Amino acid sequence: MAGAEQVIAGDRESRPSPIDVHVGSRIRLRRTLLGMSQERLGESLGLTFQQVQKYERGVNRVGASRLFDLSRVLDVPISFFFDDMPDSLAANFGGSTGRRTTGSAESQDPFADDTLSRRETLELVRAYYRITDPSIRKRVFDLIKSMGPAEP
């Protein structure tokens, strides 16, 4: 019987939990948006960059105290790590979704979940926030909005 339990436990350990993968992807998203390396994040937390990699891939589960530390270092509320969780994932674990909604248009956007994790998006956001003059940054924002389709 112990052998069967070990096989089951071993199988479970070889596949990261979808929630751990989601939390890890949110850690990576925020770290990247800040332009922070895995090494620098690790140093801030007293970890190696390899441990940060494992958190970001969902291989290692993030405990409550580590999540608290991550929220301080990455300057986000703890809820950030659960935001934009797919409806199916949240439903399977008995909770409501962690989505932030701003209106019905966002829920109709088929690219909403994937867009934030693209390198192009991250680079654009970093470049935008490197513009130090608020009036220029606002003009760039308005320009980009004007180039897209009209909002409903």
Mean pLDDT in consecutive groups of 10 residues from the start of the chain, 152 residues: 45 75 92 91 96 95 96 93 83 53 39 63 83 90 87 68
Give pLDDT, residue 111.
45
Give pLDDT, residue 54.
95
What's the pTM? 0.61
- Asked whether 62 and 70 are in contact (CB, 8 A), the reply is yes
Using the CB atoms, write b or e for 110-119: b if 16+ within 10 Å.
eeeeeebeee
